[in-house]
Amino acid sequence: MKEWLRVPLADWHPDKTIRCGQIFHWYQKENGYFLVRDKEVLHVQTTGEEVVFSGAIQNPDKWLRFLGLHTERDLSPYAKDPALVDALLYAKGLRLLLQDPFVTIISFILSANNHFARIHTGIHCMAAHWGEEIEEGVFSFPAPEQLAAVPPSRLRALCTTGYRDRYIAQTAARIAEGSWDLSLPFSLSANEARKVLLQLPGVGPKVADCILLFAYGKGDVFPVDVWMHRVMRALYPNGEDGRKQIAEAAVQRFGEDAGLLQQMLFYYARDHKLGAGKKS
C-alpha cells in the first residue's frame, strides 16, 4: 500500500483510538490495523514514535475527518482537575473518529447489554456475509438495502445478534426506504438530533448519544451507561447521581469537549477498573 500520511503517535495512537470502544468495524493483522470507509481501506501501522497511514486514498479530506485529524482540541485546562489528570495522561493520543452513520447506528444498537468482543464479531459477521470483500479478509459494511433484505432470524443465527435482530432489521428497513434520513442529524443540535435518533428501533438515550458522538461529531454529549455512572460517582462523589443528571452536568462543565473527555475517562477507567464493584 502507498504511504499517505504520518502522524506522531502522541497525536493519534492506534490501540487507544481503535480499541477504546468507539468503533467496531476494523480488522487487525500482523502488520497493523485496517479501517474501512465506504469501499476504501486504510492501513494503520506504528513505526517507532509515528503512526503511518497507507492506502489508495481517493478523498484525503474524507479520511482526515474520519480519523479526527481535521480538528484539534486543547484539553490542557482540564489538567487542573484532579479527577481528570490521570485519564488525560493515560489516554493521550486517543482521537474521536467521525464514522459512517449507518455502520455506527447498527454497531451501537448491537452494543445494548453486550460486550466489545461480541459487538466486534457481530459487525464482522454482517460485513463478511452481506458486504463486499475489498481486500483479502477485509469487507465493506452492507448498505441499508442489503441488510434490510436479511431476515431477522438469519441475523440472529449467523451473527449472534440475539434479541437485537429485529431492531437491526427494522432500522435498516427504515433507512433503506427513506423514512429516516441518515443525513438529518448533521444539521441539528445535539438535543434535536437525539430526538430524531430515538425514533429508531433499538435506540435508547445512551445509544443515541454514542451515535451522535461517533458518527455525527456532536462533541456536546456525554454517554453514560452503568460503567460510566460508577466512574463519575467515584471521581465526583459529591456530584450528580442520576445518569441523565451526570450527562447534563458534564456537558455543562465541559461543553464541546464533553464527548472526548468521556471517551478518555471510559478508556482509562476500563483499564484501571475504576468504579468496578460499585453499585449503580
Question: Rounded distance, CA 212 to CA 201, Å?
Answer: 16
Pair 241, 226: CB distance under 8 Å? no
β-strand partners of 83: none
Choose among 118, 104, 129: nearest CA to 210.
104
Contacts of 123 (CB under 8 A, 6+ apart): 24, 25, 103, 106, 107, 110, 141
Told to judge if 206 belongs to the known catalytic residues of this protein, a careful annotator would answer yes
Q: Which regions of 25-90 does DSSP assign to beta strands (E)?
A: 26-29, 32-37, 40-47, 50-54
Q: What share of the chain is helix, strand, coil (3-state, %, to 5)?
A: 50, 10, 40
| Partner residues linked to 173 by β-bridges | none
Residue tagged active-site, from 206, 218, 273, 279: 206
C-alpha cell at 252: 455543562
- Rg of the chain, C-alpha, whole Å: 18
Residue 56 burial (10 A CB sphere; 0-12, 13-18, 19+):
exposed
Cell numbers at 262, concatenated: 468521556
- Would you say 32 and 45 are in contact if contact means Cβ atoms under 8 Å apart? yes
Q: CA torsion angle for 152, 98, 49, 274 (degrees, to 10)? A: -70
HSE-up of residue 39 (Cα within 13 Å, Cβ side): 6
**Catalytic site residues?**
206
